[in-house]
Chain A
């Protein structure tokens, strides 16, 4: 199909409008934190759904990621006689990069899609309109609780992934590579400085916000019946995953500058 300049222009305009709309959507979800009514029960339900519900997959991915890091690094570090640094390598990689990003991607796959499909079905079956007709603001009742609990829960899940990943590395180092466990943990512990932890725990706050706002945004903008719900779900996962990886790059760059001045 040939795209004319006009068509390109209208596509660009539509995308720009969507970005602007998403920006306002995010702003509103945050502003509602300071406006009554607050839906405490909904926040807790969502926290349970996102936090406790995602725990198994986060533990599994964390453990095996730590394990595979130890496996791969032990081989290359051995070439330099630096096998003793395995613990340091695993814990640094997990805390700075892998735990936040992988946890973010897992939760995005599970919850951004869940939010988009749930809110999307509510839109196409007029439940959102019904809610507004009953005097409830769906942004306050549905979006803000999801946003808040995803941010908090992703933060906690990332800590879990950090811990489990380091343990997975230890498991592989001790039982497969035959290293000394004390050495692993000493090296892992010594490597940690404040800047790494700050970096590793700032990221999930941003990722959690992205997951919830993108999931809810695509859900609330659903049009076109059941098919539209499917489309919204796919788009929510794709967009939030890409945004997580992209913002990880930006955040890493910013924090290197902030903490190390480079």
Chain B
């Protein structure tokens, strides 16, 4: 793993973070990504794309994409992280490298609104049909508010969240910062 990172650093401008002996993450720029993934696939035996996922870094006004690759023979995994702009969320498609990446890209297009121009079927419906709001996995989408105004909530719902349950028996039970504003 270490020697791989060394080799990569000779060719690409990447930062690395090693999590376990068989799992590392490298941060790369969006421009480098296709070359980096092609290199990993064709020269370093990272032939399997395990997943492609996104995180909404709304504080930085960015999306973080993680491409997780695996080397079957050595059981090593490497995650390639890329930050892209949140306002104009466009990323290069990698469907030509792994055919199944189109499904991930279609999902990200629907759930986060990240476009992958040229990816086959990227604008087709994936799970949502006829969605009219902002993409639901963006963190500024208030899922509870949407659910309450759309799905006819049944009144009389109560919660057994530990915080409220403990408050009932012990008034001094501390307020948790956890899930603030989410639990009635």
Chain B binds chain A:
no
List the interface of chain A (C-beta within 8 A of B): none
> Chain B: residues with CB nearer than 8 A to chain A?
none
